């Protein structure tokens, strides 16, 4: 049962709706989670003793047959980078092997895998606000403790990363619950995009900060500085965010009524308990399976870019840590703008009746899968053209941002009451690529850090992008499903079910 809090209005009145304060703080929260997730990918470049590791792999590639050997190559560092590149490779204290590096990067997802469904149930039935806060707090404290545990033994790093994964795993379910409770259907694409584009912003800032801090203050500073700064967000989240408009005091009465009315909510709804999850209907729903398949395939490509691009930059393009960080971070700032603009355009077209929710989701998912496919295909044969390679990767990553207003928002369309559980289900399965990708890349590139080896990695990713596109275009839907509310059905998109019941 939810007690309604009297509305007192916002500090900025109508100029700054509370739902967008939530969206911005939610975006920063997702940025923190992803920033603390990805910082190890960049930090590890500075943490490793590349000379010792290189000696262990000497001449391993000579075991390849002559025909294959002719096709493999490494790039020379760009002009002016050679001295810096060699110096950086001799820096770090750890001589972790390629497979161990893959394990250290993937172990985050061990915790991520197990926490999502329990976290979703807690968020839906109790409080998404406090679930999100707990998730960030776990990541912050584990990040600050990472250098200490890593120096003890690499098992200590694994332990910290698994705990971070447990916290990170509940963020998408928690934020899906918040979006379902706060976003009018006419603004769902743009609000979802604002929140989830924080993952890209956090990635970019983390990569840049990690490269700068490791160069100037050492790899330990990456974890201390980024973890410490994140504590500020937790205070703001506690003060300004509530689970739904009825509990928020910093809101105008007009905004509260507009949100609740657009979602078909009433005071009676607040007194009702959360409906039980219709597991059978969910697991036999074709639109749900379309989201799940798209989510899994997209995550393979996303984590490949997110986790492995810094290593591709180092191993093949021969960029030093600073250049590596700048090139890796470059796509995520324009991605932020592109994603929000696309979400706004789609919401506007839907409001004018030009497209349906289904069409909007399919347009976004097409952009997020087809363009990266083309970019990876070009990258396979572009060779050592450093500038062109970075530009192509940038375009591919930017267009992947369309997924935020595509399949990643689709759970809320088909079942807003169970949005947290649905995204937990799809994201749990879609976590498997996060575990497999680093291990797969480490296996393919062990002793064979060449363009040919990375070509294999890119082709596997291309195939999965094609599967994502085909399955979602055929089976995806933006219509609210009949099982979203007990004993009620849905005949058209974005029509509140309660109003249908009242009119019957």
CA-based torsion, 347, 352, 356, 362: positive or negative? negative
Lowest-confidence pick of 197-211, 333-347, 465-479: 197-211
Res 67: pLDDT: 36
Selection from 199-213, 220-234, 369-383, 429-443 with the highest mean pLDDT: 220-234
What dotted CATH number matches 15-60+89-263?
1.20.1250.20
Q: Reply yes or no on whether the pLDDT at 250 is more than 50.
A: yes
pLDDT per residue as tens digits for the range 290-306? 999 999 999 999 888 76
Q: Reply yes or no on whether the pLDDT at 354 is more than 50.
A: yes
Rounded Cα gap, residues 114 and 428, in angstroms:
8
Proportion of the chain above pLDDT 90, given as a percent: 40
The C-alpha torsion from 316 through 318 and 323 to 326, rounded to 10°, is 0
Could you tell me the residue ranges of all domains in the chain? 15-60+89-263, 285-481
Q: Reply yes or no on whether the pLDDT at 360 is more than 90.
A: yes
Q: Mean pLDDT across the stretch 371-395?
A: 84
Q: Which of 40, 165, 167, 158 is nearest to 111 (CA)?
A: 165
Res 365: pLDDT: 96
Q: Reply yes or no on whether the pLDDT at 494 is more than 50.
A: no
Res 10: pLDDT: 57
Tokens found for residue 120: 């979703």
Q: Mean pLDDT across the stretch 20-32?
A: 94
Res 1: pLDDT: 47
* H-run or E-run covering 157: helix 154-169
**378-416 b/e (C-beta count within 10 Å ≥ 16 → b):** bbbebeeebeebbbbbbbbbbbbbbbbbbbbbbbbbbbb
Give the residue, 321 or 383, on which the prediction is more confident: 383
CATH class, domain 285-481, is: mainly alpha
285-481: same fold as 15-60+89-263? Answer: yes
Predicted confidence band of residue 319 (pLDDT cuts 50, 70, 90): low
Q: Reply yes or no on whether the pLDDT at 422 is more than 80.
A: yes
**299-321 b/e (C-beta count within 10 Å ≥ 16 → b):** bbbbbbbbbbbbbbbbbbbbbbb
Q: Reply yes or no on whether the pLDDT at 490 is more than 90.
A: no
Res 264: pLDDT: 77
Give the residue, 441 or 227, on which the prediction is more confident: 227
Q: Reply yes or no on whether the pLDDT at 444 is more than 60.
A: yes
SS3 at position 303: helix
Res 393: pLDDT: 83
Res 76: pLDDT: 63
Predicted confidence band of residue 63 (pLDDT cuts 50, 70, 90): very low
Tokens found for residue 279: 């597991």
Q: Reply yes or no on whether the pLDDT at 229 is more than 80.
A: yes
SS3 at position 247: helix
Predicted confidence band of residue 263 (pLDDT cuts 50, 70, 90): confident
Predicted confidence band of residue 493 (pLDDT cuts 50, 70, 90): very low
Res 43: pLDDT: 83
Q: Reply yes or no on whether the pLDDT at 227 is more than 60.
A: yes
Lowest-confidence pick of 72-76, 136-140, 298-302, 323-327: 72-76
Residue 395 contacts residue 377 (beta carbons within 8 Å): no
Predicted confidence band of residue 87 (pLDDT cuts 50, 70, 90): very low
Res 450: pLDDT: 77
Q: Mean pLDDT across the stretch 128-156?
A: 93
Lowest-confidence pick of 121-130, 155-164, 263-272: 263-272
Res 58: pLDDT: 38
Rounded Cα gap, residues 418 and 269, in angstroms:
15
Q: Reply yes or no on whether the pLDDT at 374 is more than 90.
A: yes
Q: Reply yes or no on whether the pLDDT at 442 is more than 70.
A: yes
Q: Mean pLDDT across the stretch 310-333?
A: 68
Q: Which of 90, 92, 82, 86 is nearest to 222 (CA)?
A: 92
Give the helix ranges, DSSP H, for 57-107.
66-69, 82-89, 98-106
Predicted confidence band of residue 321 (pLDDT cuts 50, 70, 90): low
pLDDT per residue as tens digits for the range 426-439? 989 998 887 788 78
């Amino acid at each position: 049962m939810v007690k309604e809090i009297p509305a007192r209005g916002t500090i900025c009145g109508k100029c700054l709706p509370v739902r967008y304060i939530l969206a911005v703080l939610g975006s920063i929260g997702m940025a923190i989670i992803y920033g603390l997730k990805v910082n190890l990918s960049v930090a590890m470049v500075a943490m490793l003793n590349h000379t010792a590791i290189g000696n262990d792999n000497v001449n391993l590639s000579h075991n390849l047959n002559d025909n294959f050997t002719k096709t493999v190559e490494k790039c020379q560092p760009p002009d002016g980078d050679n001295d810096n590149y060699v110096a950086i490779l001799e820096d770090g204290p750890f001589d972790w092997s390629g497979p161990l590096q893959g394990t250290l990067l993937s172990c985050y997802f061990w915790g991520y895998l197990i926490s999502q469904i329990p976290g979703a149930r807690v968020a839906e039935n109790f409080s998404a606000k406090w679930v999100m806060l707990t998730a960030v707090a776990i990541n912050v404290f584990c990040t600050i403790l990472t250098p200490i545990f890593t120096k003890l033994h690499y098992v200590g790093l694994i332990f910290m990363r698994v705990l971070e994964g447990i916290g990170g795993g509940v963020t998408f379910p928690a934020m899906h619950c918040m979006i379902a409770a706060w976003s009018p259907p006419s603004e769902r694409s743009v609000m979802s995009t604002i929140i989830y584009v924080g993952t890209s912003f956090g990635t970019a800032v983390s990569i840049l900060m990690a490269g700068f801090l490791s160069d100037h203050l050492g790899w330990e500073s990456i974890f201390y500085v980024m973890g410490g700064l994140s504590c500020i967000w937790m205070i703001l989240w506690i003060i300004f965010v509530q689970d739904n408009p009825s509990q928020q005091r910093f809101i105008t009465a007009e905004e509260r009524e507009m949100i609740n009315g657009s979602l078909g909510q009433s005071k009676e709804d607040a007194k009702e308990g959360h409906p039980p999850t219709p597991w059978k209907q969910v697991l036999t729903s074709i639109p749900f399976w379309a989201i799940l398949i798209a989510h899994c395939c997209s995550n393979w490509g996303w984590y490949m870019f997110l986790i492995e691009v810094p290593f591709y930059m180092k191993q093949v393009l021969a960029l030093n840590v600073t250049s590596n960080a700048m090139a890796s971070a470059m796509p995520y700032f324009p991605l932020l703008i592109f994603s929000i603009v696309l979400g706004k355009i789609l919401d506007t077209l839907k409001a004018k009746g030009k497209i349906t929710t289904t069409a909007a989701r399919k347009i976004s998912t097409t952009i997020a899968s087809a363009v990266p496919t083309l970019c990876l295909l070009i990258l396979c044969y572009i060779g050592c053209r450093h500038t062109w390679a970075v530009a192509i990767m940038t375009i591919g990553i930017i267009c992947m941002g369309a997924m935020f207003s595509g399949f990643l928002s689709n759970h809320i369309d088909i079942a807003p009451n169970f949005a947290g559980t649905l995204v937990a289900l799809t994201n749990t399965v879609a976590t498997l690529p996060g575990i497999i990708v680093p291990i797969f890349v480490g296996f393919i590139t062990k002793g064979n850090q060449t363009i040919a080896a990375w070509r294999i990695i890119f082709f596997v990713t291309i195939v999965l992008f094609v599967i994502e596109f085909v399955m979602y275009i055929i089976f995806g839907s933006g219509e609210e499903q009949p099982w979203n509310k007990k004993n009620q059905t849905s005949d058209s998109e974005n029509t509140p079910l309660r109003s249908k019941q009242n009119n019957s």
